[in-house]
Chains A and B, each alone.
Chain A
Amino acid sequence: MSQAYLTLRKGVFAYASSNAYSIRCISLFRLYRQSIPGALLFFSLIFLLSSPAHLQGQEQGRRPKSSGATEVQPALAIENSKSNPVVGASSEVRVAKPIISSAGLTTVGLELGLERIAKGAEPQTVEELLALESQQAKVAEKVKQVTVNVQQGNSQGSGVIISEDGYVLTAAHVAGKPNLDATVVMSNGRRYRAKTLGMNRNVDAGLLKITDEPAEGWPHASIGESSRLSEGSWCVAVGHPGGWQEKRGSVVRVGRVLAMLPGTIVTDCSLIGGDSGGPLFDLSGRLIGIHSRIGAEVTENMHVPVDEFTKNFERLVSGEKWGVLPGYEPIIGITGDEQDGRAIVTKVNAGGPAERAGLQVGDVVVRFDGTAISSFRELREAVHGCLPGDHVRIEVSRENKILARTLVIGLKN
């Protein structure tokens, strides 16, 4: 074990090593997210290191239910999508609103003799190994055109285009919040404006839509079904680790599914900062997941299953935001009265973000992060719209005066 490793355990992450069975999951875009000081640091870093290439993003997206020629039905939208995940049965399609085109560009027919391996087995002969190599190389080549860099605020990650009209799947923590301006950078370096849409933070699923022209005709990935994966399934991960780099482009990794968990695929496709939101494909070039986070071991790489996007796609498109990133609940450290018509502070937690920002008992919060607040419930919702570490402007009414403060969102323990 490296000295660096041990040293770091003694440092910031020492708390995690107390449990022999625990590993840490580390957000894959940590370097690229956060607030003005974060950005300052970021650019300082660039300065300091005189390294041209620390930023970048990529993105890949995929859309519900359109995996290649076998899938005929183009529409995924359903009225009750919130409670009824659609997995493609046409009888469940109740709204005729087409969301995505039927097939993406990344589907690759299986090489002869790969059927067994495509189901998750190891190659046993040189021929099989060569066939696997040929297959994954074809996938790697095809997916370049749909893998993008995503830049939102000061953060960067990756993403994947999943529809002709420019929907882009990414990680919720890359998108940040709904309805924000973002930039999508293609593998050739061309930049396009985009808007963040809905997100399911429970699983770290996020959505963007490219708003620049053209409105149609975007190269997009073929959507697969993560429910069909099993341990051993081969997969190809793409992304822009460390940010978009002109002389490098996207970076390919190959691995296998090591565990299928609710809301999470674990693989040994190694990921690092900047990969967040990037796509994971199966051997047929169909999108099966979106990169989310990692543990300390190089075999501990977590992805959002693509089914989490497809089953809630309508909600994501509508801009709805729900859930809390695992281990990432935002707080500001105050208590208030939900019944009161105003967001009045009844308690300020010692050492919490609100106290550090100078809030006091009796203050009435009137504005938070640009949103007018008229009840404590609204304040709670506004806080949930933030991520720990965000710097947010809060305005309170105190003794008939309005005071404005900047507050750093905290993390609920």
Chain B
Amino acid sequence: MMQRRWARIVEVTIAACTVIAVLGFAISKLSQPLEVNEPISWNTNTSFLTVWEPAPQERAGAGTIQLPSTLSNKQRNNALMVRAFRTAIGDSWKSTVRILNDGRQVALGAVVDKGGFVISKASELPEGDFDCRTWDNKIVRGRVKATDANLDLALIQVDREDLPVVKWAVDTVLVAGAWVGTTDARETPQAIGVVSVPSRPVAPERAILGVQLAPADTGAAVVSVVPGSGAERAGLEVDDVIYAVNGKELASRREVLDTIAQYRAGQRLKLSVRRGEKELTMVARLMDLTSSVLDPTEMEVNGQISARSSGFAKVIQHDTVLTPNQCGGPLVSLKGEVVGVNIARANRVSSYALPTDIVRETVQRLKQSIPSGS
């Protein structure tokens, strides 16, 4: 399937240069720069919409490169490589669980302690009890017992005590270029990659809904919706009027913006929306889309990214191609030792994992925070 795509390349090196020129022009016409504190940024001028639909003459690229009709199957993660990797990591994959919501995987988790304790990515987890699929293909029930919102880690307890606990890497010095595997609750790893940056902070970005808002009689009117944003996924449309967030009625655009600003990326907001004569309720997720919001090309080449993908004091950056629902589980070295817990898919070239020392400390802290008897 992938091979078919290689049959031909139409080059569009133009892309964002022209797009950006158009956008830049639009912005240059705005009387004031972007408001830093507003979830939606740009003011109410709608001219930025030209970004999404540039004039025809500024679109298409002409150049064509002929590629082979079949692409090499020699990708770094082909079957032979994955087989070698599987041999190397041994049974370490058995400490992975898949966390399900309505039968679909929403995250992975790492078994971190006896007694059914599993750590995972908090913002991807369902509320209440949920199903987990374990290494032996059994389903067990689990629930979040404690959460660290800063790290986006949640400690889960599942109704099963005999799951094998991960083998933590001790004294392992991670270097750029080292192989890492994202294990699955089955023998074949989900994905492999290499360490890109052994240790770095990721500055927090603002969480946004992904709409541009104008004042309305009650609340705020949607002027535009950013493609790929939580707003779009929730079904918000232009001219919708948001008049309440999480049940709290809001009188002005300012109030709507201020309210949204109180939440974090990954959180879901219940929006009360007036569309013409109808009143609707929809749930939209905040994302820290960062610059992607203004750059549809980047949104596209990034593929799916985690809603919460910034604001970590220290991460391992690796180039494993993950989807958001493959985060939350162990990142292992070639020895099968856990060097970190995947915490976000950030963009086309970056996945982040929280390093082992931070995760272990957090697990202990969260365990102690659980009220006894619960």
Contacts and interface: CB of A to CB of B under 8 A. Distances in A.
Interface residues of A, number: 115
Interface residues of B, number: 100
A407 B303 CA distance: 35
B34 interface: yes
Contacts of A296: 300-301
Contacts of A25: 9-13, 61, 65
Interface string A343-360: 000000001100000000
A247 B200 contact: yes
A69 to B, nearest CB: 23
Nearest to A353: B57
Interface string A68-106: 000000000000000000000000000000000000000
Nearest to B30: A44
Contact of A20 (B4, B20, B33, B60): B4
Contacts of B194: 136, 252-254
Contact of A272 (B177, B200, B205, B301): B301
B24 A40 contact: yes
Q: Which of B55, B201, B294 has the most CB of A within 10 A?
A: B294
B5 to A, nearest CB: 5
A128 interface: yes
Contact of A388 (B17, B52, B303): B17
Contacts of A245: 200
A91 to B, nearest CB: 34
Contacts of B135: none
Nearest to A331: B57
A195 interface: no
A175 interface: no
A157 interface: no
A27 B12 CA distance: 8
B13 A123 contact: no
Contact of A37 (B24, B78, B295): B24
B47 to A, nearest CB: 12
B169 to A, nearest CB: 14
A249 interface: yes
B297 A173 contact: no
Contact of A264 (B64, B65, B88, B229): B65
Interface string A115-150: 000001011111011101100111111000000000
Interface string B80-109: 110011011000000000000000000000
A256 B175 CA distance: 20
B74 interface: yes
Contact of B17 (A9, A15, A30): A30
Given A30-B19, A411-B14, 13 more contacts: A4-B300, A8-B300, A41-B27, A48-B294, A53-B203, A54-B291, A129-B179, A252-B177, A252-B319, A293-B13, A327-B64, A408-B21, A411-B18
Interface of B: 2, 4-21, 23-25, 27-28, 33-34, 36, 41-42, 51-55, 57-68, 71-72, 74-78, 80-81, 84-85, 87-88, 175-179, 193-197, 200-201, 203, 205-206, 227-229, 232-233, 290-291, 294-304, 317, 319, 321, 334, 347-350
